[in-house]
Amino acid sequence: MRYPLAMIDQSLVAKVISLSPSERLELIGAVWDSLSPEDIPVTEAEEALLDARIAEMEHEPHDQSPWPDVKARLNRLLR
């Protein structure tokens, strides 16, 4: 999916596109890390969903999977 880039300097876009995939991912991480929580809009519906999931997790703490297990399942599904 392509997004309109009218607000971004096109020479900057060209530089970013010329980076390797791993460099672009590193850049994405750096840009993401530069944002504060106030910079990331969350709708009321998203906030309600997150609150419900946190409540469910707190109510059933043993019904959760550790990250290494989740990552392994995802890797198996994506092969």
- Scored b (16 or more CB within 10 A) or e, 17-31 reads eeeeeeeeeeeeeee
Q: % helix / strand / coil in the chain, to the nearest 5?
A: 70, 0, 30
pLDDT of amino acid 2:
62
Q: What is the pLDDT of residue 7?
A: 79
Please give the share of the chain, as a percent, with pLDDT higher than 90. Answer: 77
Number of residues that this document lists for the chain:
79
| pLDDT above 70 for 3 | no
Where do the domains of the chain lie?
Answer: 1-40, 41-78
pLDDT category, 35, cuts 50, 70, 90?
Answer: very high
Global pTM value: 0.51
The mean pLDDT of 26-39, rounded to a whole number, is: 95
